[in-house]
């Protein structure tokens, strides 16, 4: 029977279990967000280039990644890549690379939509001033596009943080792993997993409130 009485925990010891996992989950979220946005921006620009040699490979990559469950990509990378290179790469590095590669496909679509949300008149005006395509994108289009994309980025970051729990499949020490170890050590797995669910809810709900406030501010700027 599930008990809400958590007084049996030695909270000093439990904090040690959870802190390591929490820090890894946050670190993975930040790295995957930065790397995913950078790689995703390149993919978005390739898709919008109008050049078949750039557009088709980018579209294939994005559509493929968006059609495969993340846990499968994690397992494939963790099991297959070491076989190809002849040595293990570790669960943490495997999770980091996989998340960047996977999230880039979703960020690419966000960036593409953000770029297309910028009025074409501004692009034409920049071209009339003699700006190159690169200058136009860097100085005119992308700054406005990224401002418009901030709320959607935040939503994707929340989803990304939730997805970090999937690294459990390859044994990486994330927040969920910390809860699992605590539950095994105290013989209370049900209560511990319930507490894990509450923790994820509190974190993600708080981030969603921040995203709403940012969305409201962006709407006012527009």
> How confident is the prediction along the chain (222 residues), in pLDDT tens digits per residue?
444 455 555 555 567 778 888 999 999 999 999 999 999 999 999 998 888 999 999 999 999 999 999 999 999 989 888 888 888 888 999 999 999 999 999 999 999 988 888 887 777 787 787 787 778 888 888 888 888 888 888 899 999 999 999 998 898 999 998 888 888 877 778 878 888 899 999 999 998 988 888 777 766 555
pLDDT at 68: 93
pLDDT in tens, 132-158: 777 888 888 888 888 888 888 889 999
Using alpha carbons, select from 116, 125, 104, 124 the residue that is nearest to residue 144: 116
CATH topology of domain 11-221: MetI-like fold (1.10.3720)
pTM of the model: 0.84
């Amino acid at each position: 029977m599930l008990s809400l009485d958590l007084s049996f925990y030695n909270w000093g010891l439990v904090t040690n279990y959870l802190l390591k996992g929490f820090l890894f989950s946050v670190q993975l979220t930040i790295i995957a967000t930065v790397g995913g946005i950078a790689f995703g921006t390149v993919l978005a620009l390739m898709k919008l280039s109008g050049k078949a040699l750039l557009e088709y490979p980018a579209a294939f990559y994005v559509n493929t990644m968006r059609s495969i469950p993340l846990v499968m990509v994690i397992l494939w990378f963790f099991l297959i890549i070491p076989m190809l290179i002849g040595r293990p790469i570790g669960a943490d590095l495997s999770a980091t690379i996989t998340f960047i590669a996977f999230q880039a496909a979703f960020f690419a679509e966000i960036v593409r939509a953000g770029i297309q949300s910028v009025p074409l008149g501004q692009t034409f005006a920049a071209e009339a001033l003699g700006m190159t395509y690169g200058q136009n994108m860097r100085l005119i289009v992308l700054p406005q596009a990224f401002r418009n994309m901030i709320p959607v980025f935040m939503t994707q970051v929340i989803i990304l943080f939730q997805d970090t729990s999937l690294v459990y499949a390859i044994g990486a020490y994330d927040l969920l792993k910390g809860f699992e170890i605590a539950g095994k050590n105290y013989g209370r797995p049900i209560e511990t997993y319930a507490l894990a669910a509450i923790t994820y809810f509190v974190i993600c709900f708080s981030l969603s409130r921040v995203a709403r406030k940012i969305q409201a501010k962006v709407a006012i700027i527009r």
